Each structure stands twice: as structure tokens, then as C-alpha cells.
Amino acid sequence: MDIDNARLLRLIVHRVGNRAREEGTRLSQSAIDAGPEVAAILVEHFLAGTVDGGARYAFTHESTLDLNEVRRFSIDALNDDKAFEDASRAIARHLYSKSTHPGVAGGDLFVALFESDDSSGNGARALGLFKTEVTERFLVVDDASSDLQVKGLSGIDPRHLQKAALIFADDETVIALERGKSRTRYWLEDFLQLAPIQSEEDVTRFVSSLAKRASSELSDPSRQTAFKASMAERLAPGETPRVADLLELTAEFVGFDALSSIADDIEAGLGYTLDRDAIADVRQIKRSLNSMLRSTPVTPGVDLVFSKGVTASAVEVSQPDGSGVIHIVIKLQGPR
């Protein structure tokens, strides 16, 4: 969807409370005539803010995808304009059924239908679900009288989204975000039932973090140099290593147990288990690891830094007893 050409087609707002506290819901019956100012705010902050700050996901369900409620109701709203209000109320009721943690705050659910023309002139649609749980205090200067007056009001800051999701009609993918305390998170998993979609950026992040963490585990300069040389060789231009290949290489140096611990920790940050058969983008990973591959610690406080394009295949360090001299033997990778 081209955000620059996006426009708001329909908008409806429902109030959804905390079910554990029996706060109930207040469901609107009709869509709102938002007006150009409100529409512009929703496009600029709600739509664009979700695209910029969210991650890409796919709908899931433990038995069959057709039973994912948000997916089913969103498809109705995207494909049938007459079903928009009914579908939005069904989504709000489903959200209420998932708002059972005592720490979940009630708030307003904005259901918005956006459209943007693509290069062929066809309209690409996305359904936006935005829940606001925080109101802000702000000042307004009133110039209706002869003397300027200042009033204190409360409202929604559109720049600070707490819960958001964009469901795209063409492929049913979702861009979503959830901000708040981890113990009260329910939007992504319970309400939307989403699973992350693996991206090239995630593969690069995983492999780069893995290599850096593994390198730091190797205290022996010769072992660390050999690891970096092996990694640089697998990341050479034209190579197409799988994630599994780079994991196997790393395990040869740090051991399987240490590798598993590092990989599990990185994947916890990603939020899912990376596909081991995914092909690594050697150009992006090499760029991310450039500083690490060029630097080798020799002794506390002393590092060797190689010029770009120069890689050491071995570094041997020795220090005769009782002397302040360090002997360093460097073997460079490849013919010189």
C-alpha cells in the first residue's frame, strides 16, 4: 500500500472495557463522517505510524485458519462495504472476550478502512484496528473572547499508539504493534493470534548477533582469528550459505551447548524460531560484521585491526617469561 496516496474510506469507534472488571462495551451502530482533518490524522499517525513501527505477521490458529475470528471478520469488512459496521462490532466483542487480565486497561477501538491506488490504478485496501488506552492532558488557548483564555482538556495523542494492526486485503498479511507491560500483553497472541513472518532483516540480525556473541566467547586469539577467517570465507561474494551452515561452523568453535544457548537467546528477542534452511544475505551480514571481522584481541588492552580486504587466518601470540615483550605471528588469508 502506498501510504502517500492512502485515504480513509470508513471509520467507526467502539469502547471496549476490561471483562474481568465487567466494564462492558459500548458499540457504535454507524460509521463516522470523520471529516478531512480527522482523516488526515488517522492516515499520518495511525496508518503510517503502524507501518513504520510495526512488524509483519501472519494469522494463525491452533486448528484451522478459518477459525481465526479477527481474520474472518476483517475479510468481511474488506470485501463487503455493507458488512463494515457488523464486522467491526464483532471484532470489538472478540477483543472484549480477550481483555480478561486485571491489568488490561479499557479504551477506544478505532476500526478504519483505508484505500490506496497502486501503479495500475487498482485500489489496495487495508483494515486498521487501533486501540487507545492512554489519554493525555493538554492545554488549549481559547480566543473566542476579547482576552485569551487557557483551558485544560484531555484526549488521545495520535503519535503514541498502544495497540495497532493493519490487515491487508491482497495477501491477508498483518503489520502490528503492541506497547505496554509484558505481563498484560494480549493484543498480538490472544486477540489477533499472529505469528511473525521471517524477513531477510531477521536472518541478518540473527547471524550477525550469533557471530559476535560466539567471537566474544573465544578468549584465545588464535581460535578467535580462525573463527573469523572461517566466517569471512563463508560470507565471501557469491556464497549462499544457509543459516544451518553458519550454525554448524560456529558450533565447531564454541561447542554445541554454547551455540544453542546463544541461538535461543537471540530468537527470544526475535519472538520466533528462525528457519534453519533460510539463505543468508552475505552482503548484508558482512557489512554488519565488518568491524568484528577486522579486529582481533591480542592481550588485554591491545587489539589488532586489519585494513579493509585483509583477513588473518591465524594469529599466534607469545610472551617470554619475565619480559615486557609480546611476540605476534600473523598469517594472512589467501595469496599475497
Tens digits of per-residue pLDDT, 35-84? 999 999 999 999 999 999 888 899 999 889 999 999 999 999 999 989 99
Structural domain total, the chain: 2
- Residue matched to cell numbers 573465544: 218
Could you tell me if residue 154 is inside a domain?
no
- Residue 103, pLDDT score: 87
Q: Is residue 79 located within the same domain as residue 182?
A: yes
pTM: 0.69
- Residue 182, pLDDT score: 67
For residue 210, give its domain range.
200-332
- Residue 311, pLDDT score: 67
Query: Rounded to an integer, what is the distance from CA 217 to the centroid of its chain?
Result: 28
Collapsing DSSP states into helix, strand and coil, what is residue 291?
Answer: helix
- Residue 309, pLDDT score: 67
Q: Is residue 81 located within the same domain as residue 120?
A: yes
Query: Rounded to an integer, what is the distance from CA 262 to the centroid of its chain?
Result: 20
What are residue 295's DSSP bridge partners?
Answer: 305
Q: Please check whether residue 191 is in contact with residue 174, taking contact to mean a CB–CB distance below 8 angstroms.
A: no
- Residue 223, pLDDT score: 85
Cβ burial, residue 247 (10 Å; 0-12/13-18/19+) = buried
Nearest partner of 104 among 234, 204, 207, 16, judged by Cα: 16
Q: Is residue 117 located within the same domain as residue 24?
A: yes
| Alpha helices per DSSP H over the chain | 35-41, 48-53, 69-79, 84-98, 200-217, 221-234, 243-254, 256-270, 282-288, 290-294
Q: Please check whether residue 243 is in contact with residue 203, taking contact to mean a CB–CB distance below 8 angstroms.
A: yes
Could you tell me if residue 146 is inside a domain?
no
Under DSSP, the state recorded for 161 is -
Q: Is residue 260 located within the same domain as residue 175?
A: no
Q: Is residue 33 located within the same domain as residue 181?
A: yes
Query: Which H or E run includes 108?
Result: strand 107-117
The residues of the chain scoring below 70 in pLDDT are 118-122, 182-183, 297-301, 308-320, 322-323, 333-336
Nearest partner of 280 among 182, 178, 179, 204, judged by Cα: 204
